[in-house]
Amino acid sequence: MRKAFKPKKQLSVINASLGIRSDMKEERIDMSDSSKKMAVGVDLGTSNLLIYVEGRGTVFNEPSIIAIDKATKKVVSVGIKAASLVGKTHEKVEVIRPLSGGVIADVEMIKELLVFTLDAIFLSKMDNIRKMLICIPSEITETEKQAICLLGHGMGIDNVNIDAEVKAAAIGNGLDIYEPRGQFVIDIGGGTTDFGVLSLGEVVLAKATKVAGEHFDRQIIEHVKFAHKLEIGDQTAERIKIALASIDGDLPVDEDGKELTFIAKGRDQVEGLPQQAVITASEIREVLLRCFETIKSTLIATLEATPPELSGDLVTNGIWVSGGGAKILGLKQYFENIAHVPVHISEHPLTAVINGTKKLLQFEGKHYFGESRVGMEARAQ
Ligand code: ADP
Ligand code: MG
Answer with the one of 237, 265, 287 that is the final residue of a domain. Answer: 287
Tell me what pLDDT residue 233 has.
Answer: 93
Residue 365 lies in a domain: no
Query: Is the pLDDT higher at 10 or at 45?
Result: 45
139/52 same-domain check? yes
Minimal-distance CA residue to ligand 1 atom 22: 242
302/260 same-domain check? no
Residue 379 lies in a domain: no
Tell me what pLDDT residue 355 has.
Answer: 96
- The rounded Å distance from CA 191 to ligand 2 centre is 9
For residue 232, give the 3-state DSSP assignment: coil
pTM here is 0.88
Position 13 pLDDT exceeds 50: no
What residues line ligand 1, using a CB cutoff of 6 Å? Answer: 45-48, 189-191, 213-214, 238, 241-242, 245, 323-325, 327-328, 350
pLDDT tens digits, 175-210: 988 889 999 999 999 999 999 999 998 999 999 999
Per the structure, the complete domain to which residue 39 belongs is given by 9-158
Residue 250 lies in a domain: yes
Query: Is the pLDDT higher at 162 or at 15?
Result: 162
What residues are paired with 94 via a beta bridge?
68
198/217 same-domain check? no
> Which atom from ligand 1 is nearest to the alpha carbon of 102?
3
Minimal-distance CA residue to ligand 1 atom 26: 325
Residue 37 lies in a domain: yes
Compute the average pLDDT of residues 304-331.
97
Q: What is the CATH number of the domain that holds 136?
A: 3.30.420.40
Residue of 62, 221, 327 to mutate, ligand 1, most atoms within 8 A of C-beta:
327
Position 98 pLDDT exceeds 80: yes
Tell me what pLDDT residue 99 has.
Answer: 84
Tell me what pLDDT residue 364 has.
Answer: 67
> Which atom from ligand 1 is nearest to the alpha carbon of 43?
2
Minimal-distance CA residue to ligand 1 atom 9: 324
327/180 same-domain check? yes
Tell me what pLDDT residue 181 has.
Answer: 93
Provide long-range contacts, Cβ within 8 A and 24+ apart, for 77-82: 77/17, 78/18, 78/113, 78/116, 78/117, 79/18, 79/19, 79/49, 79/117, 80/19, 81/17, 81/19
Compute the average pLDDT of residues 232-238.
94
CB atoms under 10 Å from CB of 267, counted, come to 15
Ion ligand 2 residue ranges (Cβ < 5 Å): 45, 189
259/321 same-domain check? no
Position 366 pLDDT exceeds 90: no
Tally of domains within the chain:
3
Minimal-distance CA residue to ligand 1 atom 17: 324
Tell me what pLDDT residue 105 has.
Answer: 66
Answer with the one of 133, 158, 183 that is the final residue of a domain. Answer: 158
Q: What is the CATH number of the domain that holds 223?
A: 3.90.640.10
Cα 29 from Cα 24, distance rounded (Å): 11
149/269 same-domain check? no
CB atoms under 10 Å from CB of 243, counted, come to 15
Confidence of residue 137 (pLDDT cuts 50, 70, 90): confident
73/200 same-domain check? no
Tell me what pLDDT residue 78 has.
Answer: 95
Confidence of residue 381 (pLDDT cuts 50, 70, 90): very low
Residue 149 lies in a domain: yes
Of 70-79, 309-318, 358-367, minimum mean pLDDT range: 358-367
Residue of 43, 47, 234 to mutate, ligand 1, most atoms within 8 A of C-beta:
47
Answer with the one of 251, 270, 287 that is the final residue of a domain. Answer: 287
Tell me what pLDDT residue 10 has.
Answer: 35
Residue 370 lies in a domain: no
Confidence of residue 125 (pLDDT cuts 50, 70, 90): confident
Tell me what pLDDT residue 22 has.
Answer: 33
What's the first-to-final CA gap in the chain, in angstroms? 14
Position 168 pLDDT exceeds 80: yes
225/130 same-domain check? no
81/202 same-domain check? no
- The rounded Å distance from CA 44 to ligand 2 centre is 7
Give the ligand at the shortest distance from the Cα of 326.
1
114/180 same-domain check? no
Tell me what pLDDT residue 33 has.
Answer: 55
154/247 same-domain check? no
Enumerate residues 6+ apart whose C-beta is below 8 A from 253.
Answer: 259, 260
Tell me what pLDDT residue 6 has.
Answer: 34
Tell me what pLDDT residue 297 has.
Answer: 98
Residue 302 lies in a domain: yes
Compute the average pLDDT of residues 245-266.
97
301/227 same-domain check? no
Residue 152 lies in a domain: yes
Helix residue ranges per DSSP H, 130-212: 142-154, 165-172
For residue 169, give the nearest of 311, 325, 378 by alpha carbon: 325
CB distance 208 to 139 below 8 Å: yes
